Amino acid sequence: MTEVTIRPAQPEDVPALDKGLRQLSAGMGDGHRAAPADLRAAGFGAHPAFQAILAERSGAVVGIVLFSPVFSTVRGGAGVYVSDLWVAADARGAGLGARLLVAARDRAAALWRARFLRLAVYDDNPRAHAFYARLGFIPQPGETILTLDGAGLAALKGDP
> Mind listing the pLDDT tens digit for each residue in 6-44?
999 999 999 999 999 999 999 999 999 999 999 999 999
* Rounded Cα gap, residues 80 and 66, in angstroms: 10
Pairing of strands 4-8, 51-57: antiparallel
| pLDDT of amino acid 153 | 92
Q: Do residues 114 and 68 make contact, with C-beta atoms less than 8 angstroms apart? A: no
Identify whether 136 is part of a domain: yes
| pLDDT of amino acid 158 | 79
Identify whether 93 is part of a domain: yes
Q: Looking at the 3D structure of the chain, how many domains does it have?
A: 1
The enclosing domain of 16 has a CATH number of: 3.40.630.30
Which domain, by its residues, includes 19?
Answer: 4-155
| pLDDT of amino acid 1 | 54
Identify whether 160 is part of a domain: no
* pLDDT surpassing 60 at residue 154: yes
Determine the distance from the C-alpha atom of residue 152 to the mean position of all C-alpha atoms in its chain, rounded to a whole number. 25
> Considering the entire predicted model, what is its pTM?
0.92
> Mind listing the pLDDT tens digit for each residue in 87-114?
999 999 999 999 999 999 999 999 999 9
Identify whether 19 is part of a domain: yes
- List the one residue out of 51, 50, 54 whose CA is nearest residue 6: 54
- Share of residues in the chain with pLDDT > 90 (%): 94
Band of the pLDDT at 2, cuts 50, 70, 90? confident
Which residues, in sequence order, are CB contacts of 21 under 8 Å at separation 6+? 32, 34, 39, 64, 66, 84, 86
| pLDDT of amino acid 114 | 97
* pLDDT surpassing 60 at residue 86: yes
* Rounded Cα gap, residues 122 and 83, in angstroms: 12
